[in-house]
């Protein structure tokens, strides 16, 4: 019974649906930011992978000489 009351405190469905517009805009902005951040992390990770491969190749060449 108490948990039902507590959950109802956080549920709010406005009659005026235009109140959803700012929340939708904010969510859209944050989703775009999250996607861009994810793509940036992937790009940096690929660059670091290439650097690591170069270093490994140089180390294996030096070891063979």
Domain limits of the chain? 22-64
* CB within 8 Å of 20: residues ≥ 6 apart: 14
- Report the distance separating Cα 27 and Cα 29, nearest Å: 5
pTM: 0.65
* CB within 8 Å of 14: residues ≥ 6 apart: 20
pLDDT at residue 29 in the model: 98
Report pLDDT digits (tens) over 2-52: 666 666 677 777 888 898 999 999 999 999 999 999 999 999 999 999 999
Per-residue DSSP letter, 13: -
Residue 16, SS3 per DSSP:
coil
pLDDT at residue 7 in the model: 67
């Amino acid at each position: 019974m108490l948990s039902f009351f507590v959950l109802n405190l956080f549920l709010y469905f406005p009659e005026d649906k235009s109140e959803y517009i700012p929340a939708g805009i904010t969510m859209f902005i944050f989703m775009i930011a999250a996607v861009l951040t994810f793509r940036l992390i992937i790009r940096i990770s690929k660059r670091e992978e290439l650097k690591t491969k170069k270093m490994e190749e140089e180390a294996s060449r030096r070891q063979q000489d």
